[in-house]
Amino acid sequence: MNYRHSYHAGSFTDVIKHIILTTLITSISRKDTPFCYIDTHAGTGYYDLFSDYAKKTKEYEGGIEKVIQQENPPPLVKRYLDCVHKINNQLTESTFASLRYYPGSPMIARYLMGPHDRIITCELQLQEYQTLRATFAGDKQVAVHHADGFLGLKAFLPPRERRSLVLIDPPYENLDEFSRIAYSLPAALKRFSTGVYAIWYPIKEKNQVDRFYRTIEEKISYPVLAIELTIYPDLPQHLNGCGMIVVNPPWQFDQSINEILPWLWKTLTINAQGAYCAYLLK
């Protein structure tokens, strides 16, 4: 496995994913009872944008750098940006640190969760796992596993809290990841039908995404919200944008997302290309 998320940290697709994640956790934590966040493909927890990897692609310039420059972002985007500021302040020990570090999904979840919530992470790549483990060393609320995230779904569901958000965020290095999701998600829902499941995917070929939706529609009998944001037109073999399907979306989550999407698209689009939408697949 060659994938390293450090090349893509803070990219426009990371920003979209992490703002949706922030919105989901905010919706779920409106209820006062504890919940369990499961991150099946966790990465390292946070990323150094000054590293050789990040500097090589500079993908953060089209993502977090654009968002951070906006005045008056919507409140949920502000909440996400607070996480970005927090990691920078924490690691540079200055109150107004500029942008150097970028928090990954488990770190964002950690900042947003309450004292009785719990995080379970899986990471398969040994080096990434070791970094992730060091990041959360001594944190009793976070469990870090060197494991295949799809197998983790079997091991960790249902959670004892009976309330859970599962993020499935594979690298999509090979196409079989769409089929692994189509196979694993119904099985996970069988084990734990009331969980909220968020699955991120790249939008490169529209046909591929449509095929994925059709499979989900066929195999899953629970409500599914599809969220898409593209910043380029439908260019073949090109990362035009990304999407997230949310199975069992929390109450009023669609409303919150629809308030953010126009702002986010306007901030991230290249020359007003691409589009955004959020709609119920079923």
Ligand X SMILES: C[S@@+](CC[C@H](N)C(=O)[O-])C[C@H]1O[C@@H](n2cnc3c(N)ncnc32)[C@H](O)[C@@H]1O
Position 188 contacts ligand X (CB under 6 A): no
User: Considering beta carbons, is residue 239 or 275 the nearer one to ligand X?
Assistant: 239
Residue 102 belongs to what H/E stretch? strand 101-103
Active-site hit among 14, 39, 169, 254: 169
Position 5 contacts ligand X (CB under 6 A): yes
Contact 135, 143 (CB under 8 A): no
Position 269 contacts ligand X (CB under 6 A): no
Contact 80, 108 (CB under 8 A): yes
Helix, strand or coil for residue 230?
strand
Position 192 contacts ligand X (CB under 6 A): no
Q: Which of residues 24-53 bind ligand X (CB under 6 A)?
A: 41-43
Which one, of 201, 166, 171, lies nearest residue 185 by Cα? 166
User: Considering beta carbons, is residue 1 or 277 the nearer one to ligand X?
Assistant: 1
Contact 136, 142 (CB under 8 A): yes
Stretch of 67-75, 121-129, 208-216, 217-225 contacting ligand X, by CB under 6 A: 121-129
Whether 169 is catalytic is yes
Position 142 contacts ligand X (CB under 6 A): no
Q: Which of residues 199-218 bind ligand X (CB under 6 A)?
A: none
Stretch of 81-89, 145-153, 239-247, 262-270 contacting ligand X, by CB under 6 A: 145-153
Q: Total residues contacting ligand X (rule CB under 6 A)?
A: 20
Position 105 contacts ligand X (CB under 6 A): yes
Applying CB under 6 A, which of residues 59, 117, 128, 254 lies at the interface with ligand X?
A: 128
Position 59 contacts ligand X (CB under 6 A): no
User: Considering beta carbons, is residue 3 or 53 the nearer one to ligand X?
Assistant: 3
Enumerate the β-bridge partners of residue 46. 103
Stretch of 26-34, 165-173, 221-229, 241-249 contacting ligand X, by CB under 6 A: 165-173
Which one, of 227, 151, 223, lies nearest residue 183 by Cα? 151
Count other C-beta atoms under 10 Å from residue 36's C-beta: 22
Contact residues for ligand X, defined by CB under 6 A:
1, 3, 5, 17, 41-43, 104-105, 122-125, 128, 148-150, 169-171
Residues involved in catalysis: 169
